[in-house]
Amino acid sequence: MAQDGPRLHAHWIAADGRAGHEGVADAIFPYWSFTKTAIAVAALKLVEAGALALDAPLAGDRFSMRQVLAHSAGLPDYFTLPEYVQAVARGDAAWPRDVLLGRALAQGRLFAPGEGWAYSNVGYLLVRAQIEAATGMSLGDALTELLFAPLGLRSITLAETPAQFAPVHWTAAQRYDPGWVYHGCLTGTAADAARLLHALMGGAVLLPDTLAQMRAAHPLGGAIAGRPWTRCGYGLGLMAGTMASAGAAEGHSGGGPFSVNAVYHFPDLPVPVTVACFAQGTDEGVTEYAAVEMAQGCQARP
């Protein structure tokens, strides 16, 4: 049963083995766009296995998997559709996938593949289809087999119906259809979000060269008002740059109609640390600042 309570819920894991928590430890939260990081990792594992190609054009188009994961394929987004925003606000049931794709792609391509950068949820919907075709499984089953089961992350599931979204901590979740997140919306605890990114950045998930390619970020600019970023960029399913005095930050922020999250690894701190923060509201800067504060604060804790 969804519920309200403390505004911030977080978990941190330090490279020296220490860990800590704030808020409700077993609460379930929507991961929103941190799901993109998991999708990118699954696609890259399939590339390592030879089941997907990273740089070959996707069937029927000119852009590659790498370009889609990096948001450099020139695809439009569906958040720019006024009718999408209005339908979500009304609490409507999600449109069929083909309807969404038709309306989004009718906006036209933004630029030729590789010649620009534009955040696109549509691109990750296409990656989802590639993963499902390569594995013969649903995305949820594929992510469980490729990532969550090997890492022992038992709380994480892919929520695709309102009933599957019901365990989310906040009462606002009871009015939301996760089908509106067309690439998929993972749910799970703050601890398992931190464990997933910590394992990835610690080299326990991808081969070293693959991880290096994932982390290689296209620079996107400097400071962002109201957020801790002083330099920002995007890799393959990873937001990356620097966050104030915490230095380098790699991970992903996310947000939906009623909550936000920030899941980041901070490798430049004296003791590298991974933090996952979740909060009510719509301001991603709240959880990003909280992640920075927690990452720095845990340095001196026993």
Percent of the chain clearing pLDDT 90 (strictly above): 92
Residues 175-203: tens digit of each pLDDT: 899 999 999 999 999 999 999 999 999 99
A 10 A CB-CB count for 302 gives 3
> How far apart (Å, rounded) are the C-alpha atoms in residues 289 and 292?
5
pLDDT at site 1: 42
CB 12 within 8 A of CB 266: no
pLDDT at site 300: 80
Is 70 exceeded by the pLDDT of residue 112? yes
Instruction: Let me know if domain 8-300 sits in CATH 3.40.640.10.
Output: no
Residues 207-234: tens digit of each pLDDT: 999 999 999 999 999 999 999 999 999 9
Residues 231-264: tens digit of each pLDDT: 999 999 999 999 989 999 999 999 999 999 999 9
> Angle formed by the axes of helices 34-48 and 121-135, to 10°?
40
Closest CA to 37 of 192, 230, 175, 269: 192
Residues 125-172: tens digit of each pLDDT: 999 999 999 999 999 999 999 999 999 999 999 999 999 999 999 998
Is 70 exceeded by the pLDDT of residue 2? no
> Angle formed by the axes of helices 34-48 and 190-201, to 10°?
40
Two tokens at 155? 């709380």
Is 90 exceeded by the pLDDT of residue 7? no
Round the average pLDDT of the chain to a whole number and report it. 95
Rounded to two decimals, the pTM is 0.96
pLDDT at site 301: 75
Q: What is the 3-state secondary structure (H, E, C) of the chain?
A: CCCCCCCEEEEEEECCCCEEEECCCCCEEECCCHHHHHHHHHHHHHHHCCCCCCCCECCCCCCEHHHHHCCCCCCCCCCCCHHHHHHHHHCCCCCCHHHHHHHHHCCCCCCCCCCCCCCCHHHHHHHHHHHHHHHCCCHHHHHHHHHHHHHCCCCCEEECCHHHHCCECCHHHHHCCHHHCCCCEEEECHHHHHHHHHHHHCCCCCCHHHHHHHHCCEEEECCCCCCCEEEEEECCCCEEEEEHHHCEEEEEEEECCCEEEEEEEECCCCCCEEEEEEEECCCHHHHHHHHHHHHHHHHHCC
For the chain, the structural domain boundaries read: 8-300
Residues 14-52: tens digit of each pLDDT: 999 999 999 999 999 999 999 999 999 999 999 999 999
> How far apart (Å, rounded) are the C-alpha atoms in residues 237 and 263?
12
Average pLDDT over residues 109-131: 97
